[in-house]
Amino acid sequence: MRKIGFLLFLDCSLLDFTGPLSAFDAANRLAGKTLYRLTLYSEPGGMIRSSAGALIHTERIGRTSFDTLIVAGGGAPREGLVSPALRRHVLRAAARSRRIAGICTGAFVLAATGLLDGKRATTHWRMAAKLQQMHPAVKVDSDRIYSRDGAVWTSAGISAGIDLALALIEEDLGVELARAVARELVVYHRRPGGQSQFSNLLEMDPPSGRIRETLSYARNHLHESLTVERLAEIACLSRRQFDRAFSAETGQTPAKAIEKLRAEAARPRVEAGEESLENIARAVGFDDPERMRRAFLRVFGYPPQAIRRAQRRQETLYL
């Protein structure tokens, strides 16, 4: 039996922990025995109020040991309010756990302890730039549903925690049980960790007008040559100033952002299956299918052909 501890905070998002909790609970029910012992914790223990106003009873984390510690998101982590005592609790638990995971802004807690230093991690797309700014030693990948680096896992927020839980179940007990749990929850069995979060760059709203206008220009001119020099000219900044400002406000380099914008624009057309990959690549500015293929691998974790085949399989499944 594996002990799973969920660490909660004031103003926690219910789905951040109830989604994964339901996945582990379903694994227990489907197996007909207790594979996972599930417990909710907080630093003080007692009742914790969620962002929706619901009260959740928790135990005090203390010196508890776990197979897996899952740190959920909440108001305190989002604002970087991680007390020295909580850091010690998390570090102690991590040292005694086989693995540790952060869901949504739970990544801020792990980053505050140094557990993410030098590691790849993700969080909710809206908070990715802030995580990178507050913790520059973390390799923040804002465009993944979930990420694993050694024994440390992180995921985006809300429903992405279910994807992370399914991946943990599959690692523990195999693909068949994970697939059965997904069917029980009526979710896809496997959205790959590298699959893009909800078009984060398309929704990004940088604070300064110059970077906002540059992104808007880029979205409307993807088929054109969008060099960093050209973007800096549009922003009325020097190349060096633009690089710094863009990275600070978006958490991305300009080149990586343009690549992601193009990949995000191309993906629905790839999935639709009505155009050749050559035509799609040219239409969004990749020039040729090979450049688009490399970009898809970096952004989504899969080449366009695999994504198109997967979409066809899903359409056939739900007909």
Q: Is the pLDDT of residue 302 over 90?
A: no
Weakest mean pLDDT among 11-20, 242-251, 277-286: 242-251
CA distances from 23 to 27, 104, 114, 215, 312 (A): 6, 17, 29, 38, 27
Contact call for residues 145 and 163 (beta carbons, < 8 A): yes
Strand partners, 41: 7, 59
**Residue 205: pLDDT over 80:** no
- CA–CA dist 266, 248 (Å, integer): 26
**pLDDT category of residue 143 using cuts at 50, 70 and 90:** low
Does the global pTM surpass 0.75? no
- Fold classification of 200-317 (topology level): Arc Repressor Mutant, subunit A (1.10.10)
Distance CA 286, CA 272 (A): 18
Name the residue among 75, 131, 132, 67 with its Cα closest to residue 100: 67
Q: Which residues are catalytic?
A: 104
Q: What is the pLDDT of residue 65?
A: 85
For residue 319, count CB atoms less than 10 angstroms from its CB and return exposed for 0-12, middle for 13-18, buried for 19 or more. exposed
Fold of 2-185: Rossmann fold (3.40.50)
For 84, the token pair is: 């020295």
Report pLDDT for 198: 47
pLDDT range class, residue 50, cuts 50, 70, 90: very high
Q: Can you list the positions of beta strands (E) in 8-88? A: 36-42, 46-49, 55-60, 68-71
Instruction: Answer for the pair 111, 154: CB distance below 8 angstroms, yes or no.
Output: no
Write down the residue that tokens 């804002």 correspond to: 142
Can you give the residue ranges of every domain in the chain?
Answer: 2-185, 200-317
What is the mean predicted confidence (pLDDT) over 137-142?
88
When the pLDDT of each residue in the chain is averaged and rounded to a whole number, the result is 88
